[in-house]
Amino acid sequence: MYKPAITGTGVFTPENVITNAELVTAFNAYADLFNSENAAAIAAGEVEAKEHSSEDFIVKASGIEQRYVIDKTGVLDPRVMHPLFPQRADDEPSLMAEMGLDAARQALAAAGKDAGGVDLVICAASNMERAYPAVAIEIQQLLGCGGFAFDMNVACSSATFGIQAAADMLRAGSIRSALVINPEICSAHLEWRDRYCHFIFGDVATATLIERTDDAQGPYFEIRSTRCATEFSNNIRNNNGYLRRSRPAGMADRRDMQFMQNGRKVFKEVLPMVSEHIAAHLSDEGVGADALKRLWLHQANKTMNDFIGRKVLGRTPEPGEQPNILQDYANTSSAGSIIAFSKYSDDLQDGDTGLICSFGAGYSVGSVLVQRHG
């Protein structure tokens, strides 16, 4: 059986930043506009007035300080409040493919490899730009890879579930090298008019190159094992989908066609699920928490990560043991733990062990136990 390894990663970061200050200014202008346009209905008790958002709340509740987005003009325009992406012709690269391609090229460069050796491309993300053809096949063609490609969606756990699928195929010998690519255009999915969640998400794309340990040209992270789990929950949900046209008229801008969550419940239910999942994975692998040099966690909420770090390690993590990137990127769904891994893994030493872990809608939890070589 072949041994799989992560030999390179890449992160595409959009140029535009939206700070909490800019975000709150735009939201409050939208709320004021809404309240003045609906003043009579609000006075009659028929419509609820919109409350202002606050920077202090956002940082305290989530740890998020800013987010990167592909388009900020639409998001910050109180009369628009969503990104604006011009329609592309069918013979132009799609937006997801373009972002994914950039991240994939960075991952290949980090590993010193050409795309020609890759024989599987998985585009694993929370949303797909279209139903078909698969974005992964478009990326496969743009990169010049051989083999095959497919899209998959397990929301925030798309990257770790994709890594498990690729690692298993590589072990079995059906592939030799895979790119797991996570282009997340979360800005198009977020309801920027909802103060309870308007601060949560940002855009990014990540890519992870998985090869046989024997094929690695430089230092690599052997994938010792992976573990995925799901448990159905409606607490993070989006009802958008291809049946939209078949619903009664007037559904296009319905609230449930964007991201919805019961944040408190998610917090309460996902925390024990993740902590127990990691503990069981480590125990089955005979890895004690003291042997774990780093945790690269899903990037949704700082308090949540602090809690999981303490629970898994049995103590408060030392600085750098559980790096967060959410203060800069916000929640980027499946890409978050891979950004953290990509930016905070180079300093590990030969033999060091770490764990990548995602969690989110589904519910879903995915963990990838890795060991540094070289």
Residues known to be catalytic: 156
Neighbours of 74 (CB within 10 A): 18
Report CA dihedral (327, 328, 332, 334) to the nearest 10 degrees.
-80
φ, ψ of residue 94 to 5 degrees: the values are -70, 165
User: Which stretches of the chain bind ligand CO8, using CB under 6 A?
Assistant: 53-54, 57-58, 61-62, 126, 155-156, 186, 189, 195-196, 201, 236, 259, 261, 263-264, 266-267, 300-301, 304, 331, 333, 360-361
CA–CA distance, 37 with 41 (Å, rounded to integer): 9
User: Kind and range of the H or E element at 229?
Assistant: strand 220-230
CA–CA distance, 28 with 194 (Å, rounded to integer): 11
Site of tokens 């639409």: 74
Neighbours of 81 (CB within 10 A): 21
Report helix angle 336-343 to 158-172, nearest 10.
Answer: 70
Question: Which residues, in sequence order, are CB contacts of 249 under 8 Å at separation 6+?
Answer: none
Site of tokens 């325009």: 77
Angle at the Cα of 210 (from 371 to 360), degrees rounded to 5?
Answer: 80
Write the DSSP symbol of residue 363: T
Report CA dihedral (94, 96, 102, 103) to the nearest 10 degrees.
-160
CA–CA distance, 327 with 314 (Å, rounded to integer): 24
Q: Which two tokens stand for residue 251?
A: 């559904």
Question: Which residues, in sequence order, are CB contacts of 2 under 8 Å at separation 6+?
Answer: 170, 171, 173, 212, 213, 214
Q: Which two tokens stand for residue 374?
A: 């070289």
